[in-house]
Amino acid sequence: MLKYLLLVIVNVWCLPLSAQEKEPFYGYTTIRTPLSIGAIVPDYKLQQVLNYKKTEISLSAFSGKALLIDFWAAFCQPCLAQFPKIQRIQEKYKEELQVITVTSDSLQKVIDLFENIRYQGFNLLTVARGAECKTNDSLFFAFPHKYIPHYVWIDKNRIVRAVTGQDALNDDNIALLTSGRSLAAINKEVNIVPAEHPAMYIYQEADIAEKMMLNDSIKGLIGYSMLSGYNRKYPSSSAIDYTGIYAERRIRTWNLPLGTMVRLAYGKMGKEIWEQELTPAPRVFFNIRDTVLLHKLMVDFKQAPDTTDDMYCYDLITAGKGRRQLMERMKEDLYRYFGVRGKFVQRKVWCYILSLVDSSQLRTKGGGPYVSGNMYYLKLQNADFSLLAEHIRAYNEGSKTTRYKGLESGIIVDETNFSARVDVNINARMNDISSLRMELSKYGLALLEGERSIEVLLLED
């Protein structure tokens, strides 16, 4: 889900794309030597195995097959988005390749997740790491990393051939792995922060700032802003300091296209300090005369830019405290550095309209409020109905990275005027409109198509 940009809590944590629960990784002190490219992988024993005929296995059980190890987490929407591709790869190459998905989540959390998404056909062999299962630590120590999803490619001779991100997942590279040919071209640089336990990679990002443009401990600095170019060490991300001397006074971004920086500056503030909602890309319109500037604004966040000149790092410290002041100053800087301003206007667009057909189908049996969901499902128990519309919107217009293209942009308008608490169990991929419509119909809801006047962000030079 791209409702929230990757927001780094500057002290020690990293929140990729959406907030997550903190797992009990503290207290592990044993450090083992990581395996590098070309190393032979030991016959690790794995416990708490799901979606397989045994709950304990050793890697030798897959002798004669190449291995693709997928590190993921239940909170990580980009990880879950790769499941269909991973499942297809496993089924297509089942005689030559074994996919092993590895998560630091607890066993019960992973069991619950697969119960909710199994209807999609997902039955990937999964290893769950819990607080009581230290055996599975071997994979985290052997292949430490900071960002997920993260993939380790191991050939049939148990030799590490590559470590990559999701972009490398394609048939050509799988063919190279299973045939024993070189994967050197797809390797990525992995920079590791020393940690008590490697499974803390998703939280411990103390070096993400590289003490970025200024040392965090400098006192007496009233305010400043700085714009720099691409830094290959870091993924696209942003951060708002929420503790320390710059709490709610500092925002930093790393390797973001200009368009994403603008969507961040003009986005809505979330409930938590570190939540800054991006203005959905389909709701951004342009009145830009400068063709060079227009190109920079149109760089797709998900796709590689034409050059690294289209990516920027930005650091801002304000004299006053507060996220609103930060965002206003960031807007001023974007005009000062690039000559682009934004304003919200009304514009008529084609969209999907969430409508109420039969309110009698929307009820709750009461009980404690419960909310669980991702791109494949949504469960609400005695929860506010507005969460349903927000969830659908996040995985449609909120997940797009390109400008408005009519219905294809998935803009969602809620015209139900319904505000009660409900019980809902939606089993559909949220951006699969036909499947979603079928599920919504069970609750007297419909997704209609039509033109509506909505608020959009108009960018001008």
Give 175's contacts (C-beta < 8 A, 6+ positions apart): none
* Phi-psi region at 109: left, alpha or beta (left = phi > 0; alpha = psi -120 to 50): alpha
**pLDDT of 301:** 59
Please compute the mean of the pLDDT values over residues 8-33 and round it to a whole number. Answer: 35
Alpha-carbon 7 to chain mean position: 10
User: What pLDDT is stored for residue 226 in this prediction?
Assistant: 86
Q: Interior CA angle at 288 toward 284 and 294, to 5°?
A: 80
Q: Report d(CA 161, CA 113) in Å as an integer.
A: 31
pLDDT given at position 244 = 81
- Residue 451 reports pLDDT greater than 90: yes
Q: Which residues pair with 70 in a beta bridge?
A: 101, 151
107 versus 392: the higher-pLDDT residue is: 392
Nearest to 160 by CA among 44, 271, 39: 39
Task: Over range 224-252, report the average pLDDT.
Answer: 81
Query: Which structure tokens are listed for 21?
Result: 């629960």
Calculate mean pLDDT across residues 300-311: 66
Q: What's the pLDDT tens digit per position in 308-367? A: 678 888 989 998 888 899 999 999 999 999 999 999 999 999 999 999 999 999 999 999
What's the confidence (pLDDT) of residue 5?
42
Is residue 280's pLDDT more than 60?
yes
Structure token pair of residue 442: 């069970």
Residue showing tokens 């057909």: 357
pLDDT digits (tens, 9 = 90+) for 107-123: 888 999 999 998 899 99
Q: Note the pTM of the prediction, 2 decimals.
A: 0.76
**Residues paired with residue 30 on neighbouring β-strands, in sequence order:** none
Question: Is a pLDDT exceeding 60 seen at residue 10?
Answer: no
Helix pair angle (323-338, 258-265), 10° resolution: 150
pLDDT in tens, 52-99: 999 899 999 999 999 999 999 888 888 888 999 999 999 999 999 999
Q: Check whether 14 has a pLDDT greater than 80.
A: no
User: Cβ distance 261 to 253 under 8 Å?
Assistant: yes
Q: d(Cα 371, Cα 383) in Å, to the nearest integer?
A: 7
Q: Output the 3-class SS for 373-407.
A: EECCEEEEEEEECHHHHHHHHHCCHHHCCCCCECE
Locate 53 and state its tokens.
């005929």
pLDDT by residue (tens digit) across 175-199? 999 999 988 888 765 544 444 444 4
Write down the pLDDT at residue 304.
56
Rounded Cα distance between 166 and 151, Å, is 7
Structure tokens at 338: 């690039």
Mean per-residue pLDDT over the chain, rounded: 82
User: Under a CB-based contact definition with an 8 Å cutoff, are residues 101 and 68 in contact?
Assistant: no
Residue 412 backbone class (left: φ over 0; alpha: ψ -120 to 50; beta: rest)? beta
Angle between helices 291-298 and 258-265 (to 10 degrees): 70
Lowest mean pLDDT among 22-31, 311-320, 451-460: 22-31
The encoded tokens of residue 80 equal: 């879950």
Residue 261 corresponds to which tokens in the numbers above? 């920086």
Phi, psi (deg, nearest 5) at residue 278: -75, 140
Residue 26: per-residue pLDDT: 34
